Structure 1
Amino acid sequence: MEIFTKQLNSIDLERGLVLPRDSNLEHLQPFHGTIELSTIVESSAGTRLPDPVTIHCSTRSGKLEFTRGWRDIARDAGLKSGDIVTFYREINGGAQYKMRVRNAG
């Protein structure tokens, strides 16, 4: 179940990924402050980063933002401004978060 899709800009890559206003947050477990989301990252071709990455999701200035862990994903996946990420929850014998990345070029 998709939580959000976003085309990245330079601020997302440098500071942290702010979740879009239209994100489907009912698929995130409720929290206040910070939550850790163990996430599998894969390309649109199905290639995965070797290990799940823990993303810290926190509220900043009233907005949800991926902070620690997100920059590792961006670096390891070679993400650039204009690339598209889709974050979703997949239930397959248990809840699991996944992020699919698609390069704009």
Structure 2
Amino acid sequence: MRRMFDEYVRSRTLQNWKFWIFSIIIKPLFESFNGMVSTRSFKDLNETALAWLDQHCSLPVLRPMVLNTLRHLSTTTSILSDPSCLPEQAMEAVIKLNKRAEET
């Protein structure tokens, strides 16, 4: 699933670099969903997806997650100092992500 997520992020970012920012924000949710939701049966999927929603998608949980992600983005990119460099940084990030995926 992670490889598919990374590939989707790469392809969408190459179409529109802004998707990369969205992917950074959404990745912690993807990781928690991937670790918690079971697809063994439709019943399991339904039960675990509802439990995941309750635990990971409430505003008190989402706020700090998004703030931490945005803090990380602001300290690891030039989004605050020189936003015009962000499209290039997004492309570089997905190219590096793709190279790492090819190595594994």
State if a TM-score over 0.5 links the two structures.
no
Q: Whose strand proportion is higher, 1 or 2? A: 1
Question: TM-score, normalization: structure 2?
Answer: 0.31
Q: Whose helix proportion is higher, 1 or 2? A: 2
Structure number with greater Rg is 2
